[in-house]
Structure 1
Amino acid sequence: MTSLVSSGPETTNWRELYRAAILELDPSKLPQRIREAEMVFIARARELFQDGGGNGEETEDLDNAMYVLNALRNTVKHNRAVARSPNEMKVA
């Protein structure tokens, strides 16, 4: 599987990886897209922290994007659980 995360110090592309994750239509690729985006988020957050807080707006954007990815990951987990045991999810 090809990784979209660059090996260099450039982490300002986190928005591109975020978009790739939230717009991914292939459920089998989605977990990897989420992981790749999170790795770059963390690296960028560290850069901003080391720069003395950096850009407050970008920090807030990172926080919001991480929240959305976390919700997306939980949805993926839920969908997988439902797919594995559809009889257990019946409504009374």
Structure 2
Amino acid sequence: MRTGISNPPDGRYWRQLYRAALSEIDKSKLPERIAEAEKAVALRARELFQAAGDNGEETEALDDVMYALHALRSNYQILGVS
């Protein structure tokens, strides 16, 4: 599960992995890209939960991205792409 994308400390990592999943053209790699992005989103959400401060905007973005990744995975499975 390597995308060649580094993990910056400021939370951009999940955005990079999300974009990688959305732009993946090799359908055989799509499930892996989705899983990587979901893992990074969950990790960032956990970090924000534990952090103090106003993180509402990013938290909302994480929720939206998780929903989009779920929809992408569902469409992939419905179409029976393999």
Q: Please give the range of the TM-score, normalised by the shorter of the 2 chains.
A: 0.7 to 0.9
**Bigger radius of gyration among the two:** 1
- 2:29 & 2:61 partners in 1: Cα distance? 24
Identity across the alignment (%) = 52
- Equivalent residue pairs, number: 81
- Which residue is 1:88 aligned to? none
- 2:4 & 2:43 partners in 1: Cα distance? 11
- 1:43 & 1:24 partners in 2: Cα distance? 22
- 1:25 & 1:14 partners in 2: Cα distance? 19
- 1:22 & 1:77 partners in 2: Cα distance? 15
> CA-to-partner distance for each residue in 1:46-65, whole Å, 9 max, x for gaps?
00000146510000000000
- Which residue is 2:17 aligned to? 17
- Scaled by the length of structure 1, what TM-score is found? 0.75
Unaligned runs of 5+ in 2: none
Unaligned runs of 5+ in 1: 85-92
Q: Aligned-residue CA RMSD in angstroms?
A: 2.5
What amino acid sits opposite 2:49 in the alignment? F
Which aligned segments of 4 or more residues in structure 1 are displaced greater than 3 angstroms?
4-11
> CA-to-partner distance for each residue in 1:26-62, whole Å, 9 max, x for gaps?
1101000000001110100000000146510000000
* Structural mapping, 1:1-92, within 5 Å: 2-4=1-3, 10=9, 12=11, 13-52=13-52, 54-80=54-80
- 1:3 & 1:11 partners in 2: Cα distance? 20
Shift in CA distance, 47/79, structure 1 to aligned 2, threshold 3 Å: same
The secondary structure found in structure 2 opposite 1:62 is: helix
